[in-house]
């Protein structure tokens, strides 16, 4: 008998008392009625609690704000589907002048190497949805977010989130996601509580998380 | 995909590997209690995490609703486990993953080794995983010439120190910052001797130590927190980003997961991803959660395997009173609130799974007859703090008592000479099964009072009672029992009329 | 109301004062107390030690003693023993395959109350000084025993009653909800861990500066008091029923074998 058959047999034997399959009481909150403004405020509060840097700007001001945020960087990477408008205020690339920024574009067709990703100063991505109650930003590998590796290897992650994509509770966010998409849920910069259970931000994942929320 | 079992019921097949105590719990506890540094470290850490957990749990108005849902979802999972496993397998396989089944620790280790050998690599990076700890994968791989590098900070600390984990969430909880600094200085290359003991500096040191390994790793081994049957999706919940590194960068990913980790559907995850972070690290959400379903072209490992592990889980499932122990989501809240764990630490439990959940899970997986594990169900004062804290409402005290019953019965069957406890219980059975018998026994109270002497305190009892008087006195018994007093006051039983009890007479007799 | 007292074995044999205080309180409220003479023990020592077969006759005896129409409600001055009557008895009967006993145990369990539960939820006591004449001019700290707190969900019932005793000074016990380490035979089988837990509890009690520690379970108080006594501490333990029973005219005094530190007034 194969291991598969044997284990399934063992399970069926263990369940020979035919335990009932209970109804699932789903009395927990699956949707809420916080206003957009309240959700935004809550998300900012939670992200700042995680030691992320949060910037709330009108959508029209996003390119300028992004340029300001990236002023100290020499190179960044972006996924192929990131809105090009967002990058419109960055200093012209490839001119070799001081203060300019090299922007590398990662795509499934032309993926960057790990070494290349390790060498850039920051990554700019979009986000699929965010949960204000837990301060969680979700990436689902969509064109504005790219391959999972690009938001991981660079030491700084600048995440651009539309305020319209903020929900309050986790069930609302999960309803918007496709389960089988490769996902990364991010709640603040990397952290550890492994030393005396005291939280310290900044380990292997990006040590800096900037969240630009567009209203 | 029917659950109906038509064959002959098989006897439970117990698990092996790092599930056994190597000595009885009281003996191990005695040694660990003598370690003042350990107790200070544990006291500090468990109190920190308790406060954090209480704070974030209190924030949610629907915490109890979530616990109810979580408990029901896990019960539903276990009741339909064969069908859900087959459904998971079909979905994971359809998306390019490969499933392997392992009856026990040995088989799982062999499968993992063969998969690593196929890649030609001799070094793998690892995400913290209880399942691989349980099967002793690292040691097995070492014997096969493959080195496994733990990348979780606490696991790394334990591995560098050639120690064993003592907690399922924070394996190095028994070490404080100064001890960790010393381990780094001793075991890592290129560490600045001026390294301080601030947690931030220590974490940075770990980052530098592991960075090159991550960026060049070809094979990773992980566990999984959840598997979703209706989509074939796996989830790993972590904080540091070491998990993301292992799950994203290498070409080959081998995940080892217990068969009980399934949830029926994607939407069930919405419950568990609220219960788990708040219960474990006391955070609203853990920094990173990764979800993958088989392979995704162009994104992450393309050679993806899952080893589904039994190793005694089916034996636990066969125990109708104990099977809810399999509902455990490894949050560690029970050990963080346990007054016994707080004082002994995790090593005293021997098994990979320490604390209250370990005290039931380990003997359920290995069988109560397994020599040393039969002391584990007694490693609890039954205070119930674990049950209150458990996000999936596992009634740990009730299962502990059930397993004590199994232990007593199994020893009874061996028909050995009765122990002192056996005799005590037999005597108490006689005395406590009729009021008249207890009354008879209570006639001896004045003698006990006399024996206590003028200090009216008993400082030393014989036999098993000596375990009490090693640290506690016993007051002199009263000169008469309550029932004797009552009989005198009321004559015939139950002839009392209201108001006949004399005021001010209650001060006679011993005070607690 | 006709109230059946379940004294519990430990109170019956070792702390009769606690049962007499319970009787006194209930009679002051105008209720009639009866003592079913067949009673002995709830059997939780057997159950919690895994001796289910030996527990069965003990459970059967309790059910037999209390399965009568001779009373309205039953009360015990113990959270732990009441939890056993309410939860464990049916479990023991079921495990031993005695369906009839299981059903009768459920009936008895439903009629049984812990003392503070009865006083608060059934008898409507909200002011111990006013309704019972309780007076106890001492500095007291309070340990909530685990089974009352977690199995019966007593909440602050005992503490609230104590707070309304005349003259009392209640001081908060740090880490009050931590187990004292008694745990029945746990105190023998894992004596070292049990002692370590007791020592921390004792240290917290002594740190409050209270003259004594009160609570609702004689077993836990015996454990804590036994530890304090061994350490040579002046601080004693006393069941809350005795504090409620103490009055200006008939104060609970230092007549016991442990002196009340600073009890003179």
**Any domain includes B500:** no
Give C179-226 pLDDT, tens digit per residue.
Answer: 999 999 999 999 999 999 999 999 999 999 999 999 999 999 999 999
The proportion of chain C whose per-residue pLDDT surpasses 70, expressed as a percent, equals 95
Same-domain status, B387 and B478: no
- Rg (Cα) of chain B, in Å, rounded? 27
Same-domain status, B123 and B233: yes
The band of B494, judged by pLDDT with boundaries at 50, 70 and 90, is very low
Domain count, chain B: 3
Same-domain status, B279 and B171: yes
The band of B4, judged by pLDDT with boundaries at 50, 70 and 90, is low
Same-domain status, B120 and B145: yes
Instruction: Say yes or no to pLDDT of B416 above 90.
Output: no
Q: Give the per-residue pLDDT at C228.
A: 97
Is chain A in touch with chain C: ≥3 Cβ pairs within 8 A?
Answer: no
Q: Give the per-residue pLDDT at B455.
A: 83
Is residue B124 a contact partner of residue B219, using CB atoms and an 8 Å limit?
yes
Instruction: Say yes or no to pLDDT of B496 above 50.
Output: no
Same-domain status, B288 and B146: yes
Q: Among B268, B292, B315, give the residue marking a domain's end.
A: B315
Q: What is the 3-state secondary structure (H, E, C) of A116-176?
A: HHHHCCEEEECCCEEECCCCEEEECCCCCCCCHHHHCCCCEEEEEEEHHHEECCHHHHHCC
CA A44 to chain centre: 15
Please state, in angstroms and rounded to a whole number, the distance separating the CA atoms of residues B389 and B54.
9
Backbone angles phi, psi at A25, to 5 degrees: -80, 110
* B199/A196 touch (CB, cutoff 8 Å), yes or no: yes
The whole-number average pLDDT for the span B310-323 is 97
| Pairing of the two strands B98-102 and A166-167 | unpaired
To the nearest whole Å, the CA of C82 is away from the closest chain B CA by 15
Q: Exposed (0-12), middle (13-18) or buried (19+): which is B27, by Cβ within 10 Å?
A: middle
Same-domain status, B144 and B159: yes
Instruction: Say yes or no to pLDDT of B123 above 70.
Output: yes
* A25/B65 touch (CB, cutoff 8 Å), yes or no: yes
A136 has a chain B CB within 8 A of its CB: yes
A114, A180, A200 member nearest B200 (Cβ) = A200
Going by the DSSP 8-state scheme, the letter that residue B168 receives in this structure is: S
Same-domain status, B160 and B206: yes
Residue-range domains of chain A with CATH: 32-214 (3.40.50.10420)
Instruction: Say yes or no to pLDDT of A1 above 80.
Output: yes
The whole-number average pLDDT for the span C19-34 is 97
Q: Give the per-residue pLDDT at A92.
A: 66
Same-domain status, B307 and B452: no
Q: Give the per-residue pLDDT at C217.
A: 98
Please state, in angstroms and rounded to a whole number, the distance separating the CA atoms of residues C213 and C88.
28
Q: Which residue has the higher pLDDT, B496 or B227?
A: B227
Q: What is the CATH number of the domain that holds B367?
A: 1.10.1060
Nearest C-alpha in B relative to A188: B287
- The three-state secondary structure class of B252 is strand
- The three-state secondary structure class of A77 is strand
Q: Give the per-residue pLDDT at A100.
A: 82
Please report residues of B whose CB lies closer than 8 A to that of C184.
382
Give B51-88 pLDDT, tens digit per residue.
Answer: 999 999 999 999 999 999 999 999 999 999 999 999 99
Give B242-300 pLDDT, tens digit per residue.
Answer: 999 999 999 999 999 999 999 999 999 999 999 999 999 999 999 999 999 999 999 99
C60 has a chain B CB within 8 A of its CB: yes
A133 has a chain B CB within 8 A of its CB: yes
**Any domain includes B191:** yes
Please report residues of C whose CB lies closer than 8 A to that of B432.
9, 40-41, 43, 46, 58, 61
Backbone angles phi, psi at A155, to 5 degrees: -80, -10
Cite the DSSP H helix spans in C176-233.
Answer: 186-189, 191-207, 218-230
Q: Give the per-residue pLDDT at A95.
A: 55
Instruction: Say yes or no to pLDDT of C258 above 60.
Output: no
Is residue B130 a contact partner of residue B168, using CB atoms and an 8 Å limit?
yes
To the nearest whole Å, the CA of C178 is away from the closest chain B CA by 7
The whole-number average pLDDT for the span B311-332 is 97
Q: Among B378, B411, B444, give the residue marking a domain's end.
A: B411
Q: Give the per-residue pLDDT at B508.
A: 41
Which of A206-215, B417-426, B431-440, C255-264 has the least mean pLDDT? C255-264
Computed over every residue of chain B, the mean pLDDT equals 92
Q: Give the per-residue pLDDT at B282.
A: 94
**Any domain includes B198:** yes
Instruction: Say yes or no to pLDDT of B374 above 70.
Output: yes
Same-domain status, B434 and B385: no
Q: Give the per-residue pLDDT at C261.
A: 32
**Any domain includes B238:** yes
Instruction: Say yes or no to pLDDT of B20 above 80.
Output: yes
**Any domain includes B2:** no
Computed over every residue of chain A, the mean pLDDT equals 94
A131 has a chain B CB within 8 A of its CB: yes
- The three-state secondary structure class of A68 is helix
Which of A4-18, A44-58, A158-172, B28-42 has the least mean pLDDT? B28-42
The band of B393, judged by pLDDT with boundaries at 50, 70 and 90, is very high
Q: Give the per-residue pLDDT at A54.
A: 98
**Any domain includes B39:** yes
Q: Give the per-residue pLDDT at B2.
A: 46
Which domain covers residue B205, as residue numbers? Answer: 106-315
Same-domain status, B247 and B364: no
Same-domain status, B124 and B247: yes
Same-domain status, B276 and B397: no
Give B139-180 pLDDT, tens digit per residue.
Answer: 999 999 999 999 999 999 999 999 999 999 889 988 999 999
C33, C40, C258 member nearest B496 (Cβ) = C33
Instruction: Say yes or no to pLDDT of B467 above 60.
Output: yes
Looking at the predicted complex, does its ipTM rise above 0.85? yes
Q: Give the per-residue pLDDT at B413.
A: 82
Computed over every residue of chain C, the mean pLDDT equals 94
**Any domain includes B499:** no
């Amino acid at each position: 008998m194969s291991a598969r058959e044997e284990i399934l047999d063992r399970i069926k034997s263990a369940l020979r008392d035919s335990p009932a399959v209970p109804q699932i009481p789903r009395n927990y909150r699956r949707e809420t009625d916080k206003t957009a403004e309240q959700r935004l405020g809550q998300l900012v509060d939670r992200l700042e609690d995680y030691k992320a840097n949060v910037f709330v700007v009108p959508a029209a001001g996003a390119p300028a704000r992004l340029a300001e945020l990236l002023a100290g960087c020499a190179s960044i990477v972006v996924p192929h589907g990131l809105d090009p408008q967002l990058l419109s205020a960055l200093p012209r690339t490839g001119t070799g002048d001081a203060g300019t920024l090299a922007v590398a574009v990662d795509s499934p067709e032309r993926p960057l190497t790990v070494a290349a990703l390790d060498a850039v100063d920051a990554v700019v991505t979009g986000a699929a949805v965010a949960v204000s109650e837990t301060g969680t930003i979700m990436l689902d590998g969509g064109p504005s977010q790219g391959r999972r590796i690009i938001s991981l290897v660079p030491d700084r992650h600048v995440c651009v989130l539309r305020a319209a994509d903020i929900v309050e509770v986790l069930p609302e966010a999960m309803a918007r996601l496709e389960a089988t998409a490769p996902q990364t849920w991010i709640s603040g910069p990397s952290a550890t509580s492994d030393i005396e259970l005291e939280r310290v931000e900044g380990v292997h994942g990006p040590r800096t998380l900037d969240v630009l929320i567009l209203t | 995909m029917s659950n109906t079992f038509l064959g002959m019921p098989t006897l439970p097949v117990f698990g092996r590997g790092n599930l056994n105590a190597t000595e009885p719990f009281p003996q191990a506890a005695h040694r660990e209690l003598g370690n003042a540094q350990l107790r200070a470290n544990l006291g500090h850490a468990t109190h920190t995490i308790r406060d954090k957990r209480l704070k974030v749990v209190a924030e949610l108005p629907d915490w109890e609703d979530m616990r109810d849902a979580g408990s029901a979802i896990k019960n539903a999972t276990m009741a339909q486990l064969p069908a859900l496993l087959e459904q998971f397998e079909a979905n994971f396989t359809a998306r390019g993953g490969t499933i392997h089944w392992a009856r026990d620790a040995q088989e799982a280790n062999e499968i993992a080794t063969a998969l690593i050998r196929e890649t030609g690599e001799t070094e793998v990076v690892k995400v913290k995983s209880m399942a691989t700890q349980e099967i002793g994968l690292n040691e097995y791989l070492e014997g096969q010439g493959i080195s496994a590098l733990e990348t979780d900070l606490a696991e790394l600390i334990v591995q560098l120190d050639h120690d064993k984990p003592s907690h399922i969430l924070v394996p190095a909880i028994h070490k404080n910052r100064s001890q960790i600094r010393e381990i780094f200085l001793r075991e890592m290359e290129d560490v600045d001797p001026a390294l301080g003991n601030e947690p931030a500096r220590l974490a940075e040191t770990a980052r530098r130590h592991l960075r090159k390994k991550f960026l060049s790793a070809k094979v990773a081994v992980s566990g999984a927190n959840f598997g979703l049957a209706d989509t074939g999706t796996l989830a790993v919940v972590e904080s540091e980003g070491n998990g993301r590194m292992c799950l994203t960068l290498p070409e080959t990913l081998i995940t080892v997961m217990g068969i009980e980790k399934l949830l029926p559907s994607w939407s069930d995850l919405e419950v568990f991803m609220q219960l788990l972070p708040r219960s474990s690290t006391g955070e609203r959400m853990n920094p990173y959660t990764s979800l993958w379903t088989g392979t995704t072209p162009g994104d992450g490992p393309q050679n993806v395997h899952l080893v589904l592990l039994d190793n005694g889980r089916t034996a636990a499932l066969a125990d109708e009173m104990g099977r809810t122990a399999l509902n455990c989501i490894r949050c560690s809240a029970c050990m963080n609130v346990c007054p016994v764990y707080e004082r002994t630490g995790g090593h005293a439990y021997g098994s990979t799974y320490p604390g209250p959940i370990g005290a039931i899970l380990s003997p359920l997986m290995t069988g109560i007859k397994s020599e040393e594990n039969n002391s584990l169900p007694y490693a609890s004062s039954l205070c119930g703090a674990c049950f209150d804290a458990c996000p999936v409402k596992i009634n740990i005290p009730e299962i502990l008592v059930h397993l004590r019953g199994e232990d007593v019965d199994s020893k009874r069957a061996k028909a050995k000479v009765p122990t002192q406890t056996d005799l005590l219980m037999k005597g108490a059975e006689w005395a406590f099964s009729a009021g008249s018998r207890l009354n008879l026994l209570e006639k001896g109270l004045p003698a006990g009072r006399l024996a206590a002497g003028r200090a009216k305190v008993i400082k030393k009892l014989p036999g098993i009672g000596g375990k009490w008087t090693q640290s506690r006195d016993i007051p002199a018994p009263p000169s008469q029992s309550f029932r004797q007093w009552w009989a005198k006051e009321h004559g015939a039983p139950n002839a009392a009329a209201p108001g006949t009890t004399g005021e001010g007479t209650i001060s006679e007799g011993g005070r607690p | 109301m006709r109230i059946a007292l379940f004294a519990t074995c430990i109170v019956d044999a070792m702390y009769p004062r606690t049962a007499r205080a319970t009787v006194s309180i209930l009679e002051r409220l105008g209720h009639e107390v009866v003592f079913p003479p067949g009673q002995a023990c709830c059997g939780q020592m057997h159950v919690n030690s895994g001796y289910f077969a030996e527990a069965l006759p003990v459970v059967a005896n309790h059910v037999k003693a209390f399965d009568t129409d001779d009373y309205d409600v039953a009360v015990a001055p113990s959270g732990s023993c009441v939890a056993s009557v309410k939860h464990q008895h049916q479990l023991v009967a079921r495990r031993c395959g005695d369906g009839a006993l299981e059903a009768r145990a459920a009936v008895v369990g439903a009629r049984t109350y812990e003392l503070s539960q009865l006083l608060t939820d059934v008898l409507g006591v909200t002011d111990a000084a006013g309704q019972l004449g309780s007076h106890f001019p001492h500095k007291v700290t309070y340990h909530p025993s685990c089974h009352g707190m977690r199995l019966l969900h007593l909440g602050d019932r005992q503490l609230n009653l104590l707070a309304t005793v005349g003259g009392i000074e209640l001081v908060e016990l740090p880490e009050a909800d931590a187990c004292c380490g008694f745990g029945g035979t746990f105190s023998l089988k894992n004596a070292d861990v049990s002692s370590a837990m007791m020592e921390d509890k004792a240290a917290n009690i002594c740190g409050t500066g209270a003259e004594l520690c009160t609570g609702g379970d004689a077993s836990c108080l015996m454990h804590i008091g036994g530890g304090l006594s061994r350490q040579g501490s002046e601080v004693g333990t006393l069941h809350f029923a005795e504090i409620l029973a103490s009055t200006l005219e008939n104060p609970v005094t230092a007549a016991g074998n442990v002196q009340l530190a600073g009890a003179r007034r």
